[in-house]
Amino acid sequence: MAALRVGGLTRWTSIDFPGRLAAVVFCQGCPWRCGYCHNPGLLDAARPGALDWPAVLDFLRRRRGLLDGVAFSGGEPLAQSALPQALAQVRALGFATALHTGGMYPQRLAAALPLLDWVGLDIKALPRHYDAITRTPGSGARAWQSLQRLLDGATAFECRTTWHPALFDAAALRALATRLADLGVRHWALQRCTLPGLPPWRGDAQAVLQGVQERFARFELRGD
């Protein structure tokens, strides 16, 4: 079986895995092409990884007792068939595991949930807006199927949405928040989107979401 292709490694973080001191493994490859992607260097699935997976495992062995967990991000970790094996190896070292995903592989996500302690799922928009954001037909249906897999399971998770009025308007943002709350999402984060060539976002998102954000057990506005 092919080893995980690793595009980068953050050796210590306190923000990428809630409640844990963790390392972050950045996986190579993603099938979507979102204009606001923060890691465009990881998109090409054919590009060789910057680090060997065995070297990452050696690093993690030396960090036992210093780190609590390992988060897998990207790119899109679920794009790689080697991810379940990598998760199992990390758990065998005694670490908790987390996944950051766009949700484009709902069946693979469901299969990986027994190996995960926490998931951060990007819900980019209502399904009708997805194709314009990801530049990939049918992407919205898959992401929302992934959300349903999480809602049906027992793994802790948060949803987060990156927003700018140029992506979809305030009414659609409120409709998105309402739909997430209606489905039973408890933790939702709204992240301010910054795109080259777009004016700074100066609107009051909390005013747009008044009466809806209170329906989440935890709501965060990130990027102020």
- Concatenated DSSP letters of 96-111: EEEEEE----HHHHHH
Residues 166-197 have pLDDT tens digits of: 899 999 999 999 999 999 999 999 998 877 66
CATH class as words, domain 6-222: alpha beta
| Whole-structure pTM value | 0.95
Reply yes or no on whether the pLDDT at 213 is more than 80: yes
**Secondary structure (3-state) at 59:** helix
Reply yes or no on whether the pLDDT at 100 is more than 60: yes
Q: Cβ distance 163 to 192 under 8 Å? A: yes
Residue 111: partners with Cβ closer than 8 Å, 6 or more residues away: 84
CA contacts within 13 A on the Cβ side of 175: 10
Domain ranges of the chain: 6-222
pLDDT of residue 49: 79
Strands 218-222 and 187-192, how do they pair? parallel
